[in-house]
């Protein structure tokens, strides 16, 4: 008798997990309904509770520990051992005769390996994943540790591409367009140009890259547009136009690099041409004066 009700309770729970209501389950086992009902209601209550999630600090701390562990395993596996003893090697580390310096160097090395491991671990995460904040934090650190303005601009382009990949991943998973990621993708591409000084001799190469990135983004957006919810299509259309305009302007800039005004587009939407005599020499500020973004 007791085994019967235990089995019936389990069957009802499985049925509820498949979508049946408590009443539907009880209808099949009406003779046990009075016993089963309060237990099934309790199950429903427990399953409706919000689920706890670890804090971002805890996740970061765990990942750092994992990074340390990976680093430790890597170092251990790479240390050659001969007959139970470490082989004496002449290496870069022998340069440090002083233990303090050696410790400092080891700590710095470990820190770098941990950072690298954490970055790799979170590389494929998308918004909603617990590792995503770590990915963004790693990007910020990477950007802050980059001092060359050309490399900073390149990083911005990389981030823009990452946002696009994430937007596609989210779209594939949920069928919904993440407009925040779309905006960030456009913003990063904008900042690649606006926030950094590009040396004049590299300007046309960089313009080619930007043109390519914008054209690629436009293609991708055009491909996903038919599958996007009609209410979001206007946003996609605006983004497609923006990418197209940027790409065209960059192509033109590439071709006429020395003649285009950094003041941006004229009233017709075409790039303004500035006489060579008015151009600044040496490094060009592709900064806030560049009003190519609407």
Within 8 A by CB and 6+ apart from 141, the residues are: 115
Asked if 290 is part of the footprint of other proteins (rule: CB under 8 A), the reply reads no
Question: In the set 29, 32, 102, 129, which binds other proteins (CB under 8 A)?
Answer: 129
Asked if 44 is part of the footprint of other proteins (rule: CB under 8 A), the reply reads yes
Closer to other proteins by CB, 10 or 263: give it.
Answer: 10
How many whole angstroms separate alpha carbon 261 and alpha carbon 92? 51
> What is the crossing angle of helices 179-194 and 233-255, to 10°?
20
Query: Between the CA of residue 187 and those of 132, 205, 216, 277, 294, what are the distances in Å?
Result: 19, 21, 16, 32, 11
> What is the crossing angle of helices 233-255 and 200-224, to 10°?
150
Stretch that binds other proteins, among 121-129, 185-193, 231-239, 278-286 (CB under 8 A): 121-129
Site for other proteins in 165-204 (CB under 8 A): none
Shortest reach from residue 289's CB to other proteins, in Å: 41
Shortest reach from residue 290's CB to other proteins, in Å: 37
Asked if 54 is part of the footprint of other proteins (rule: CB under 8 A), the reply reads yes
Question: In the set 29, 33, 70, 168, which binds other proteins (CB under 8 A)?
Answer: 70
Of the candidates 220, 211, 210, the one whose C-alpha atom is nearest the C-alpha of residue 248 is 211
User: Half-sphere exposure of 4 toward its Cβ, with a 13 Å CA cutoff?
Assistant: 6
How many whole angstroms separate alpha carbon 95 and alpha carbon 294? 56
Asked if 28 is part of the footprint of other proteins (rule: CB under 8 A), the reply reads no
Closer to other proteins by CB, 113 or 293: give it.
Answer: 113
Question: In the set 89, 124, 234, 241, which binds other proteins (CB under 8 A)?
Answer: 124
Closer to other proteins by CB, 70 or 224: give it.
Answer: 70
Question: In the set 39, 168, 169, 265, which binds other proteins (CB under 8 A)?
Answer: 39
Asked if 50 is part of the footprint of other proteins (rule: CB under 8 A), the reply reads yes
Site for other proteins in 250-279 (CB under 8 A): none
Shortest reach from residue 275's CB to other proteins, in Å: 52
Question: In the set 27, 28, 65, 89, which binds other proteins (CB under 8 A)?
Answer: 65
Question: In the set 23, 24, 28, 69, which binds other proteins (CB under 8 A)?
Answer: 69
236-245 long-range contacts (CB < 8 A, ≥24 apart) are: 236/177, 236/182, 239/182, 239/186, 242/186, 242/293, 242/294, 243/186, 243/214, 243/215, 243/217, 243/218, 244/214, 244/215, 244/218, 245/269, 245/292
Asked if 219 is part of the footprint of other proteins (rule: CB under 8 A), the reply reads no
Asked if 7 is part of the footprint of other proteins (rule: CB under 8 A), the reply reads yes
How many whole angstroms separate alpha carbon 101 and alpha carbon 81? 24
> Could you tell me the end-to-end alpha-carbon distance of the chain, in angstroms, rounded to an integer?
74
CA 23 to chain centre: 45
Binding site for other proteins (CB under 8 A): 2-3, 5-7, 9-10, 13-14, 16-17, 19, 38-39, 42-44, 46-55, 58-59, 61-63, 65-66, 69-70, 73, 117, 120-125, 129-131
């Amino acid at each position: 008798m007791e085994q019967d009700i235990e089995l019936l309770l389990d069957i009802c729970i499985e049925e509820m997990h498949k979508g049946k209501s408590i009443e539907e389950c009880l209808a099949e086992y009406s003779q046990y309904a009075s016993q089963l009902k309060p237990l099934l209601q309790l199950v429903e209550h427990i399953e409706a509770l919000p689920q706890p999630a670890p804090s971002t600090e805890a996740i970061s701390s765990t990942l750092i520990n994992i990074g340390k562990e990976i680093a430790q395993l890597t170092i251990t596996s790479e240390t050659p051992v001969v007959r139970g003893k470490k082989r004496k090697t002449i290496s870069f580390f022998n340069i440090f005769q002083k233990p303090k310096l050696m410790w400092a160097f080891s700590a710095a090395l470990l820190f770098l390996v941990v950072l690298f491991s954490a970055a790799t671990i979170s590389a494929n995460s998308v918004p909603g994943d617990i590792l995503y904040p770590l990915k963004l934090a790693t990007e910020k650190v990477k950007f802050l540790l980059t001092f060359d303005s050309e490399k900073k601009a390149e990083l911005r382009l990389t981030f823009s591409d990452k946002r696009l990949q994430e937007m596609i991943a989210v779209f594939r998973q949920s069928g919904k367009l993440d407009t925040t990621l779309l905006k960030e993708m456009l913003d990063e591409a904008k900042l690649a140009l606006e926030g950094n000084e590009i040396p004049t001799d590299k300007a046309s190469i960089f313009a080619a890259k930007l043109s390519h990135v914008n054209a690629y983004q436009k293609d991708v957006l055009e491909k996903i547009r038919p599958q996007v919810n009609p209410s979001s299509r206007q946003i996609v259309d605006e983004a497609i136009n923006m990418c197209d305009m940027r790409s065209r302007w960059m192509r033109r800039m590439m071709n006429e690099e020395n003649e285009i005004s950094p003041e941006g587009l004229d009233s017709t939407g075409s790039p303004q041409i500035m006489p060579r005599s008015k151009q600044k020499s040496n490094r060009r500020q592709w900064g806030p004066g560049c009003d190519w973004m609407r």
